[in-house]
Amino acid sequence: MTSQVSNHMKHTRIKDLLNATTYGHQVTVKGWVKTFRNNQFIAINDGSTLGNIQAVVDFNNTDEALLKRITTGAAIAVTGALVESLGKGQRVEVKVDTLEILGDSDPEKFPLQPKKHSLEFLREIAHLRFRTNTFNAVFKVRNALSFAVHQFFYERGFVYMHTPIITGSDAEGAGEMFKVTTLDFDHTPRTPDGAVDYKEDFFGKPTNLTVSGQLEGELAAMALGNIYTFGPTFRAENSNTTRHLAEFWMIEPEMAFYELEDNMDLAEELLKYVIRFALDHCPDEIEFLKNRLLDEEKGKPQNERSEMDLVAKLHFCLDNRFERITYTEAIDILHRSKPNQKKQFKYPIEGWGADLQSEHERYLVEKHFKKPVILTDYPAEIKAFYMRQNDPDEQGRHTVRAMDILFPGIGEMVGGSQREERFDKLVKRMEEMNVPAKELDWYLDTRRFGTAPHAGFGLGFERLVVFVTGMTNIRDVIPFPRTPNNAEF
């Protein structure tokens, strides 16, 4: 056996080789060693599939020094005949003629061993975790979902808008923004009254990373009809939960002439479309992730395990119409619920007006309705300024045409609303909520010139990926998570 793979042979993806229907021909495989058994059997993976191809080495005729370099993690190229395998566990294998080590991997130092590693440990070596089956599957599903989002909107004539990442506005009014500045903190320019002089800053005014592309999206929708954004979004909220990232990806469609019902229909259709797409295009990955979850849950007490496996859960979501109820109805249900009566909620339901905690959302979705739920018409006080105001009810309570879509195991997956298109009402609300109307004058122009009913929503992409992959921590569905005190890699 020689140790030099001839250069003219093009290599074939392992995925294609594993599906091969003809045998006997010479092939070249390039990939990373997963395992090397009995000085003979190499399991090679090239990322194209979860499956490895087995390469069989004639160790009697192979240099000892070369065999020693076939270690877990090493990059290699092998050439040989693709043959039907006699062994169990694989249909085909490569009978190695030539083997070349492209990149050594010191087995003493390579942190990934052919055994199970905890997700926590893998998070610390996020730069290498792509090489595990779990993360291969997760990022394949993420890729498919992302493509499906674009396909869904493209098929429906929506225009993909690239809204700015650096902005001067706080669309959500929650003040959770990362500042963008080139000012020198040690010599901050000051105005005569001592305030920071942003005129000296790069943009001549205070700027931040966007918390939402919605406001700019609305401008585009008021001309192009239906648009969507899909980009990075930043929130400086100090939430160390399994559902929050400081940098995440959000999909924000905005539709002219849509009312809240149309908005809900579109969101439900989108979610079902992309989940079905993932099931159709990533069956092996989802099967793998299903088994991973079953395995993980084996260690849990019965009552903490999922009632359905991952595939059943995804189908269940496709087969059922999402429940649609108002915030007020939800509060009634929660008020009368067993955990509330028995004082089992950490935050008891006291009355109308407070925001729902994730324990309440999960009760509604997982225990009461047992399917995704769309909550509408929230109290105006707990929602953003741009949402369309309802007339006050008999009890004088103010609500807005908001909609949140709650998912099992996730809580809020989507947040959206019909927008307040009436100029006077919008301006009044901005005043009440201390939203600087002057700085958002460009936004108000949409209401000045040909205002029209419109609606939109934001889908948190990583929360969607969490749901479809059955992973439990949002940090495990984005390559390099940014969270409080963590911006590694």
Contacts to ligand 4AD by CB under 6 A: 171-172, 212, 214, 235, 237, 244-245, 248, 250, 252, 412-417, 456-458, 460, 462-463
**Residue 251 partner contact from ligand 4AD, Mg ion, none using kind-dependent CB cut-offs of 5 to 8 Å:** none
* Comparison of 122 and 227: residue with beta carbon closer to ligand 4AD: 227
Instruction: Determine the distance from the C-alpha atom of residue 196 to the mean position of all C-alpha atoms in its chain, rounded to a whole number.
Output: 37
**Residue 462 partner contact from Mg ion, ligand 4AD, none using kind-dependent CB cut-offs of 5 to 8 Å:** ligand 4AD
- Distance of closest approach, residue 385 Cβ to Mg ion, in angstroms: 14
* Comparison of 462 and 476: residue with beta carbon closer to ligand 4AD: 462
* Comparison of 122 and 356: residue with beta carbon closer to Mg ion: 356
- Is 141 buried (19+), middle (13-18) or exposed (0-12) by CB count in 10 A? buried
**Residue 208 partner contact from Mg ion, ligand 4AD, none using kind-dependent CB cut-offs of 5 to 8 Å:** none
**Residue 244 partner contact from ligand 4AD, Mg ion, none using kind-dependent CB cut-offs of 5 to 8 Å:** ligand 4AD
* Comparison of 349 and 413: residue with beta carbon closer to ligand 4AD: 413
- Distance of closest approach, residue 368 Cβ to ligand 4AD, in angstroms: 20
3-state secondary structure 230-278: EEEEECCCCCCCCCCCCEEEEEEEEEECCCHHHHHHHHHHHHHHHHHHH
* Comparison of 77 and 161: residue with beta carbon closer to ligand 4AD: 161
**Residue 413 partner contact from Mg ion, ligand 4AD, none using kind-dependent CB cut-offs of 5 to 8 Å:** ligand 4AD
Residue ranges with strand state E in 38-118 = 41-45, 53-56, 75-84, 92-103
**Residue 214 partner contact from ligand 4AD, Mg ion, none using kind-dependent CB cut-offs of 5 to 8 Å:** ligand 4AD
- Distance of closest approach, residue 79 Cβ to ligand 4AD, in angstroms: 46
* Comparison of 52 and 417: residue with beta carbon closer to ligand 4AD: 417
Other beta carbons within 10 Å of 57: 23
Task: Fill in the amino acid letter for 447.
Answer: R
Task: Fill in the amino acid letter for 422.
Answer: R
* Comparison of 54 and 214: residue with beta carbon closer to ligand 4AD: 214
Q: Check: CB of residue 105 under 8 Å from CB of residue 111.
A: no
**Residue 221 partner contact from ligand 4AD, Mg ion, none using kind-dependent CB cut-offs of 5 to 8 Å:** none
Radius of gyration of the chain (CA): 27
Applying CB under 5 A, what is the total number of residues that bind Mg ion? 1
Helices (H), 320-436: 327-336, 338-341, 358-362, 423-432
Question: Whose CA is closest to 94, among 229, 224, 193, 1?
Answer: 1
Determine if 213 is a binding residue for Mg ion (CB under 5 A).
Answer: no
What residues numbered 399-438 form the site for Mg ion, per CB under 5 A?
415
* Comparison of 259 and 412: residue with beta carbon closer to ligand 4AD: 412
**Residue 476 partner contact from ligand 4AD, Mg ion, none using kind-dependent CB cut-offs of 5 to 8 Å:** none
- Distance of closest approach, residue 163 Cβ to ligand 4AD, in angstroms: 10
Q: Listing from the earlier edge strand, what are the strands of the sheet with 159-160?
A: 159-160, 226-234, 247-256, 454-460, 411-418, 399-407, 373-379, 323-326
* Comparison of 44 and 380: residue with beta carbon closer to ligand 4AD: 380
Number of H helices, E strands in the chain: 14, 16
- Distance of closest approach, residue 146 Cβ to ligand 4AD, in angstroms: 15
In eight-state DSSP terms, residue 377 is: E
- Distance of closest approach, residue 33 Cβ to ligand 4AD, in angstroms: 36
- Distance of closest approach, residue 429 Cβ to Mg ion, in angstroms: 17
- Is 316 buried (19+), middle (13-18) or exposed (0-12) by CB count in 10 A? middle
Q: Which residues is 166 bridged to in the sheet?
A: 209
- Distance of closest approach, residue 131 Cβ to ligand 4AD, in angstroms: 26
- Distance of closest approach, residue 254 Cβ to ligand 4AD, in angstroms: 7
Query: Which residues, 6 or more positions from 345, have their beta carbon under 8 angstroms from its beta carbon?
Result: 339, 357, 359, 360, 363
Residue ranges with strand state E in 142-192 = 159-160, 166-167, 179-180
Buried b (16+ CB within 10 A) or exposed e, 327-363: bbebbebbeebebbeeeebeeebeeeeeebeeebbbb
- Distance of closest approach, residue 415 Cβ to Mg ion, in angstroms: 3
**Residue 201 partner contact from ligand 4AD, Mg ion, none using kind-dependent CB cut-offs of 5 to 8 Å:** none
* Comparison of 167 and 214: residue with beta carbon closer to Mg ion: 214
**Residue 278 partner contact from Mg ion, ligand 4AD, none using kind-dependent CB cut-offs of 5 to 8 Å:** none
Other beta carbons within 10 Å of 386: 25
**Residue 252 partner contact from ligand 4AD, Mg ion, none using kind-dependent CB cut-offs of 5 to 8 Å:** ligand 4AD
* Comparison of 408 and 458: residue with beta carbon closer to Mg ion: 458
- Distance of closest approach, residue 399 Cβ to ligand 4AD, in angstroms: 16
Q: Residues in the site for Mg ion, rule: CB under 5 A?
A: 415
